[in-house]
């Protein structure tokens, strides 16, 4: 049976992705502080900001993937902070990078030995991985790096039969977005797509499933943003 290992599946895009993969027969393992309530999901509690998180979950994770025919590893968990180049502290920057960049690298190294031909490593990026807005310095910087990490992953795994891609969601209706943007601004944000609405997390889940099933997109950056209008 194929397995999905995903970070941050307790809500938002992660939750929708866990649900989608579970419904089509994947064993789903969620790595996060919160619990994913999708039926059948194996929840392994961990704090991705802890540099030693892998030592605490390694045995449970290995047991969860023991019978996996293939593994899809989705790096979904991320931290979005309000900060700027003028005020971000080194410690705050490190905290964001632990979740957005270091944890994916640690998980790649841990799971690659178990990933057979047909497996995949998928990164949930952001349209802010290719541009920038004010007030999101650490997030924008990390998402630019996420694209670089995916491209390096593609090159390093050439010939292995494991493929990779980075899915860059646009404005998606998640708790993280609503925590970052004032409610009175949200209608204006919705109008920034060609469809005049926010993206449903299930739409990103569907894009991730497509990417997992199609090695032809190996190394690709896919902007899943409903056609973002630049103003």
Domain ranges of the chain: 3-224
Average pLDDT over residues 159-179: 88
Contacts 24+ apart (CB under 8 A), 56-65: 57/31, 58/110, 61/5, 61/29, 61/31, 61/110, 61/111, 62/114, 64/3, 64/5, 64/27, 64/29, 65/3, 65/5, 65/29, 65/111, 65/114
Taking alpha carbons only, the member of 152, 203, 168 closest to residue 76 is: 168
> Does 3.40.50.720 match the CATH number of domain 3-224?
yes
Task: Give pLDDT, residue 228.
Answer: 83
49 within 8 A of 95, measured Cβ to Cβ: yes
Kindly write down the DSSP assignment for every residue of 26-42, as one continuous string.
Answer: -EEEEEESSPP-STT-E
pLDDT tens readout for residues 91-143: 999 999 999 999 999 999 999 999 999 999 999 999 999 999 999 999 999 99
Query: CA angle, corner 177, sides to 40 and 44, nearest 5?
Result: 25
Indicate if the pLDDT at residue 177 is higher than 90: no
Length of the chain: 231
158 within 8 A of 164, measured Cβ to Cβ: no
Measured distance CA(149)–CA(230) in Å, rounded? 26
Average pLDDT over residues 170-198: 78
pTM of the shown model: 0.95
Measured distance CA(152)–CA(219) in Å, rounded? 9
Task: Give pLDDT, residue 191.
Answer: 83
Dihedral (CA of 127, 129, 131, 135) sign: positive
Task: Give pLDDT, residue 45.
Answer: 97
Task: Give pLDDT, residue 231.
Answer: 65
pLDDT tens readout for residues 45-73: 999 999 999 999 999 999 999 999 999 99
């Amino acid at each position: 049976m194929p397995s999905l290992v995903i970070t941050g599946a307790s809500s938002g895009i992660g939750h929708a992705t866990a649900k989608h993969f579970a419904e089509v027969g994947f064993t789903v393992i969620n790595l996060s502080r919160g619990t994913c309530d999708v039926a059948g999901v194996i929840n392994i509690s961990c704090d991705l900001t802890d540099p030693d998180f892998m030592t605490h979950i390694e045995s449970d994770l290995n047991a969860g993937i023991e019978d996996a025919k293939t593994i899809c590893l989705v790096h979904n968990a991320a931290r979005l902070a309000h900060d700027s180049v003028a005020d971000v502290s080194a410690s705050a920057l490190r905290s964001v990078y632990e979740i957005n960049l270091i944890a994916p690298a640690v998980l790649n190294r841990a799971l690659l030995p178990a990933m057979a031909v047909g497996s995949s490593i998928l990164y949930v990026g952001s349209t802010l991985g290719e541009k920038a807005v004010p007030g999101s310095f650490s997030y924008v910087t990390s998402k630019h790096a996420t694209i670089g990490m995916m491209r390096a992953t593609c090159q390093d795994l050439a010939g292995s039969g494991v493929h990779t891609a980075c899915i860059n969601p646009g404005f998606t209706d998640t708790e993280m977005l609503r925590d970052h943007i004032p409610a009175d601004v949200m209608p204006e944000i919705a109008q920034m797509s060609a469809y005049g609405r926010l993206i449903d997390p299930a739409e990103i889940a569907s894009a991730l499933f497509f990417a997992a099933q199609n090695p032809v997109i190996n190394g690709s950056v896919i902007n899943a943003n409903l056609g973002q209008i630049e103003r």
